[in-house]
Amino acid sequence: MSPDRTVAYVLPVYDEAENVAAFHRALAAATDERPDLRFEFVYVDDGSGDDSLDRLLELRHDDPRVTVLALSRNFGHQVAVTAGLDAATGADAVIVMDTDLQDPPGVSLELIRVWEKGVDVVYAQRRTRQDGPFKRATAYLFYWLLARLASIDIPRNVGDFRLMDARVVAEVVRYREHDRFLRGIVANVGFRQEAVLFDRDARHAGTTGYPLRKMLAFATSGILGFSTLPLRLISRLGLAISAASVAAACYVLWVRLFVPGQAVPGGPSSASGCSCWAGCS
């Protein structure tokens, strides 16, 4: 009997030359346990500076289920995953996972089992993680801030390792903003969503592709994309500045009309000089 359901894996790769072969072996071994399903592996090389692309083309040569997309430069993990989702829209379900073996391939089979019970989004939630103290502290702070600021409920300790039913993928790919925060977008589209707990392993080899600069940009996209607080703060600040300007103008007018002896010659124009810097041509 030939498999009638297809599960596609979207696999972002940035400088993982030492990892992709071991990762693919582990993923192929795990998925071999499900001969009743058809699998596709969409690797997205996100402008790697090492030999990742060559290693991926070797995988493609040996395994016809592999597709390789090569981005023209490093666009970042979220854009790489989106490119993979765009390419995987024919599948019945899509699993997104990292290619450094931090997300164990065996767990993806648990995600599939929960999907088969009728759940549309199955996200892998970290019960434990092997990251260093800096990564743990910044991740904790980020999730704490997001929980307080975001207008939607974004689950804690959940990265992008998740399964999405084809209906969910069809909605997610309609969001086209450049500064993307995929886990917020997925939380936002609704459907039936459930967690599977897992223990996150240490990186197989190499170093993280998420230095502090990228982490901050990512956290900013999450907060700006899913919280109205920054906008509300800016508009309140604008209102406060306008109110202070009107009060100052009334004071100047009052002095000029009722206590002209105290009026400082040229005072109003030098006071309004500040706004003129911005407004006068």
> 193 contacts which partner out of Mg ion, ligand UDP, none, CB within 5 to 8 A by kind?
none
CA distance 19 to 56: 10
Phi/psi for 110 (5° steps) reads: -65, -40
Per CB under 6 A, the segment of 74-82, 164-172, 190-198, 237-245 that binds ligand UDP is 74-82
By C-beta, is 81 or 195 nearer to ligand UDP?
81
* CB of 250 vs Mg ion, minimal distance in Å: 59
Q: Does position 100 bind Mg ion by CB under 5 A?
A: yes
* CB of 113 vs ligand UDP, minimal distance in Å: 24
Q: Does position 102 bind Mg ion by CB under 5 A?
A: yes
Q: Does position 23 bind ligand UDP by CB under 6 A?
A: no
Bridge-based pairing of strands 121-128 and 93-96 is unpaired
3-class DSSP assignment, residue 33: coil
Which class for 93: exposed (0-12), middle (13-18), buried (19 or more C-beta within 10 A)? buried
By C-beta, is 16 or 165 nearer to ligand UDP?
16
- Other Cβ atoms within 10 Å of 217 Cβ, number: 14
* CB of 139 vs ligand UDP, minimal distance in Å: 8
State both tokens at 250: 């009334």
* CB of 77 vs ligand UDP, minimal distance in Å: 4
* CB of 145 vs ligand UDP, minimal distance in Å: 17
Q: Does position 180 bind ligand UDP by CB under 6 A?
A: no
Strand order of the β-sheet with 37-45 is 66-70, 37-45, 5-13, 93-96, 158-165, 121-128, 193-199
Q: Does position 160 bind Mg ion by CB under 5 A?
A: no
